[in-house]
A and B are shown apart, each in its own frame.
Chain A
Amino acid sequence: MPKPLTFELIGDTQLVVTRDFDAPPALVWRAHMEPDLLMKWQSGNDAFNVVECEIDATEGGTYRIVHSSADYTFTITGTFLELEEPNRILQEEVMYLPDPTPPNLVETLFKAKGQATHMVVTMTLPDAQTRREMMETGMLDGMEISYKNLDALELA
C-alpha cells in the first residue's frame, strides 16, 4: 500500500511536499544521488524514461538528467548549493524544454523517524510561462500515463 503524499501551497510561490519511506535516510539519500538507482524510480515506461543521468554529489557539483519519450526529450540540470549527507540537499534546478527555465531552488530534507525517513521537499514554483510550457510539451501527461501503467502492473 503506497504511503500518502502531502502537497501544500505555501504563500504565492512555494510548494511543500512530504512523504515517508520505509528506509533510513542514508538509503533514501543514495536513491537520490546514485544514477543507477535514480534512473529506476524516475523512469516510468515507454512514455518517459531517464536515458542519461550524471550526478556529481559534492557541494558546487552539478547534475544532468535527460528524460525521453518516443517523441519528446527534456533535460533537467542543476547545481548542489549545500549538501549535508544524509539529511539535507539544497539545489538550484533548470529545465530545458528545450529553452532554459528560470532557476528553481529546491530544498530536500530527509529526517530519521525510527528506521524510516520523513522527507520534506520545499520548492519554488516555476513561473507562469514555464508552467504553461510544461503543460504544452505534455511531459506531465507522459508521466501520468506511467502512473496508470504502474497501477496496471500492480493489478497483474
Chain B
Amino acid sequence: MNMESVSAIPDMDAAFAALSDPTRRAILAGLAKGEMTVSEIAAPFDISQPAISHHLKVLEQAGLITRRIDGQRRPCRLAGGTLEELEAWLDRLRRTMTANYDRLDAVLAEEMAKLDLKKD
C-alpha cells in the first residue's frame, strides 16, 4: 500500500510522539518551505548529523515526512495531509469545549443570581 495515497494518519499516537520534540517541530517548520536534503536540514541546528538523521527517522515512521532517493541523497518533504488531519481533530475538540464552557458561563450566572436573591 502506498502510504502517500492514504489520507488517514496511519498511527496518530506515533504522530503525537514525533511532534512532542522541539527539534522535530523545527525540522517540520523548515520543511514547510519545501523539500530539503539532510545537510540543508541540519545546517541551522547545533547537533550532529546522526542526531538529525534519528529525528528524520522518527518523523518518517510517524508518517509526517516522506523521503525519496536522488542518487546519493535522500531529500525529505512533508507528507501531504498528515498534519492537517491532526490539527483538524484538535481544532474541532477545542471548538466543542469552547462552546460548552461558554454555555456554562450562562448557567453559572443564573445560579449566582439565584444565590443573591436568597441573600436579600
A residues less than 8 Å from B12 (CB atoms): 127-128, 131
Give the CA-CA distance A41 to B106 in the complex, in Å: 8
A22 touches B16 (CB 8 A): no
Closest to B112 in A: A23
Contact with A along B71-95 (1 / 0, CB 8 A): 0000000000000000001101111
A125 touches B99 (CB 8 A): no
> Which residues of A, 1-32, contact B by the 8 Å Cβ criterion?
2-3, 5, 7, 9, 11-13, 15, 17, 19, 21-23, 27-28, 30-31
Main secondary structure of the interface of B (DSSP, over half): helix
Q: How many residues of B contact A (CB 8 A)?
A: 32
CB distance from A137 to the nearest CB of B (A): 12
Give the CA-CA distance A11 to B21 in the complex, in Å: 8
Is A144 interfacial (CB 8 A cutoff)? yes
Check A13/B13 contact, CB under 8 A, given A40-B103, A140-B92, A150-B102.
yes
A17 touches B97 (CB 8 A): yes
Summed over the interface, the residue pairs from A and B with CB atoms below 8 Å come to a total of 105
Closest to B102 in A: A2
A residues less than 8 Å from B112 (CB atoms): 22-23, 27
CB distance from B116 to the nearest CB of A (A): 12
A144 touches B95 (CB 8 A): yes
Is B29 interfacial (CB 8 A cutoff)? no
Give the CA-CA distance A145 to B20 in the complex, in Å: 31
Give the CA-CA distance A135 to B9 in the complex, in Å: 13
B residues less than 8 Å from A41 (CB atoms): 100-101, 103-104, 106-107
27 contacts between A and B (CB under 8 A): A2-B102, A5-B98, A7-B93, A9-B19, A9-B20, A12-B13, A12-B16, A15-B93, A21-B104, A27-B115, A31-B107, A40-B103, A41-B107, A42-B103, A43-B103, A44-B99, A128-B12, A128-B13, A131-B89, A132-B8, A134-B89, A143-B95, A143-B96, A144-B96, A144-B99, A147-B95, A147-B96
Q: Which residues of B contact A (CB under 8 A)?
A: 8-9, 11-13, 16-17, 19-20, 89-90, 92-109, 111-112, 115
